[in-house]
Amino acid sequence: MIKVGIIGATGYAGAEIVRILMQHPQAEVVWYGSRSYVDQKYAEVYRNFFEIIENVCEGDDLTEMAKKVDVIFTATPQGFLAGVLTEEILEQVKIVDLSADYRLKDVAVYEKWYGIEHKSPQFLKEAVYGLCEINRELVKKARLVANPGCYTTCSILTAYPLVKEGLIDPMSLIVDAKSGTSGAGRGAKIPNLFCEVNESIKPYGVATHRHTPEIEEQLGYACGSDVVINFTPHLVPMNRGILATEYATLKPVKRPDGTTGLPTEEMIRAAYKKYYADEYFVRVLPKGSWPETRWVEGSNFVDIGFTIDERTGRVIMCGALDNLVKGAAGQAVQNMNLLFGLPENTGLTMMPVFP
């Protein structure tokens, strides 16, 4: 059995890791780390685990935890792991970090967008960006995995094949995304109160959202050049889910018949098939079908649909996922499976919940 420790086990993402691992046949949570609930029974914090989990919450001492577990999930605010991680810890244990501390390779970009000093930039080079469908082989050999953000996972996977194949101009990419309120975390914030969110939808982080450089960096690797995009997130009154609608200008390419012109629907679909046909968790929908958050809720699936707007010469892509599962905890467990040589979908075959 893989012994697991979780720091931030009482946050939404941490609790989702617990829920998933309770059904994992080869992993056991032995350390429920929480700064706010030390010595309190975990099932008293989350009553859904009543008479299922008897453990009490322990602290967030990474050094002590590393002596007792095989892998640590850090579902913590930005800056926590970077402030405490040492080579001695990494020599003892594998880490999957759900914060942004090691997602961006350029420390100056991290400090600009997150507004804090990076305390351990020496680990940036070796950290692997844990988007499994793209970096699978690198994850398998890693000690430190930077689990991608929820918006970024949806945004990148939706556009990646078309960027990689040169079918769209990545500099023209516009991402319009909506998320449920759990994406903001469990902390009490006035803008996230029921009366503030219900019966409303609002943009936030307009032109400033911290996931922007993450999307740009990863898509830049895909096309081999710098990418600059427009990314605008919105808050919608639901618990879970992200829907990203993305727009990009098609690039003239050589078609199968030898002519030069904009990519056809068949060429776009072939690109998605090339990269995702064998991916268990990515479902490319048939023509005329569109992703909805309700069809991925509670699961590790990503649904993708697209259409070509011939009038404007653009492609419109849509992706949907559960921000707490594929956008956080499920993807973290997917990375753990790769780190320990398990089938990637072990413990993650739960079906979407509806209604």
Phi, psi of 100, rounded to the nearest 5 degrees: -95, 10
330 in any annotated domain: no
User: How many CA atoms lie less than 13 Å away from 198 in the CB half-sphere?
Assistant: 3
Q: Are residues 251 and 205 in the same domain?
A: yes
pLDDT at 184: 83
Q: Are residues 194 and 276 in the same domain?
A: yes
Task: For residue 296, give the CATH number of its domain.
Answer: 3.30.360.10
Q: What is the pLDDT of residues 311-350, one digit of tens each?
A: 999 999 999 999 999 999 999 999 999 999 999 999 999 9
SS3 call for 174: strand
Q: Are residues 178 and 217 in the same domain?
A: yes
Q: What is the pLDDT of residues 32-65, one digit of tens each?
A: 999 999 999 999 999 999 999 999 999 999 999 9
pLDDT higher than threshold 80 for residue 188: no
Whether 154 is a known active-site residue: answer no
Mean pLDDT of the region 117-130: 98
Domain count, the chain: 2
What is the amino acid identity at position 311?
A: R
268 in any annotated domain: yes
pLDDT higher than threshold 80 for residue 208: yes
Listed residues 91, 126, 161: the one ending a domain: 126
| Residue span of the structural domain in which 179 resides | 151-323
179 in any annotated domain: yes
Q: Are residues 213 and 70 in the same domain?
A: no
**Which of 81, 75, 23 shows the shortest CA–CA distance to 52?**
23
SS3 call for 129: strand
Q: Are residues 119 and 186 in the same domain?
A: no
Q: Are residues 155 and 112 in the same domain?
A: no
Q: Are residues 164 and 82 in the same domain?
A: no
pLDDT at 128: 98
Mean pLDDT of the region 142-171: 98
Q: Are residues 61 and 121 in the same domain?
A: yes
Q: Cβ neighbours of residue 196 under 8 Å, at least 6 residues apart?
A: 190
39 in any annotated domain: yes
Which percentage of the chain shows pLDDT scores above 70?
100
Q: Quick one: tokens of 236?
A: 């919608």
What is the amino acid identity at position 278?
A: D
The pLDDT-based confidence of 191 (bands split at 50, 70, 90) is: confident
Q: Are 91 and 85 spatial neighbours (Cβ–Cβ below 8 Å)?
A: no
Distance CA 292, CA 314 (A): 22
60 in any annotated domain: yes
Number of Cβ within 10 Å of residue 285's Cβ equals: 17
H-assigned helices in the chain? 12-21, 42-45, 62-66, 80-84, 87-90, 107-114, 132-140, 150-164, 194-197, 212-223, 265-276, 330-339
- Beta strand 27-33 with 302-309: parallel, antiparallel or unpaired? unpaired
Chain mean pLDDT for the chain: 97
Q: What is the pLDDT of residues 228-271, one digit of tens each?
A: 999 999 999 999 999 999 999 999 999 888 899 999 999 999 99
345 in any annotated domain: no
pLDDT at 120: 98
Q: Are residues 157 and 302 in the same domain?
A: yes
Under DSSP, the state recorded for 191 is G
144 in any annotated domain: no
Task: For residue 21, give the CATH number of its domain.
Answer: 3.40.50.720
Q: Are residues 39 and 73 in the same domain?
A: yes
Q: What is the pLDDT of residues 258-304, one digit of tens each?
A: 899 999 999 999 999 999 999 999 999 999 999 999 999 999 999 99
- Name the active-site residue from 57, 132, 150, 223: 150
Q: Are residues 202 and 268 in the same domain?
A: yes
Q: Are residues 103 and 200 in the same domain?
A: no
219 in any annotated domain: yes
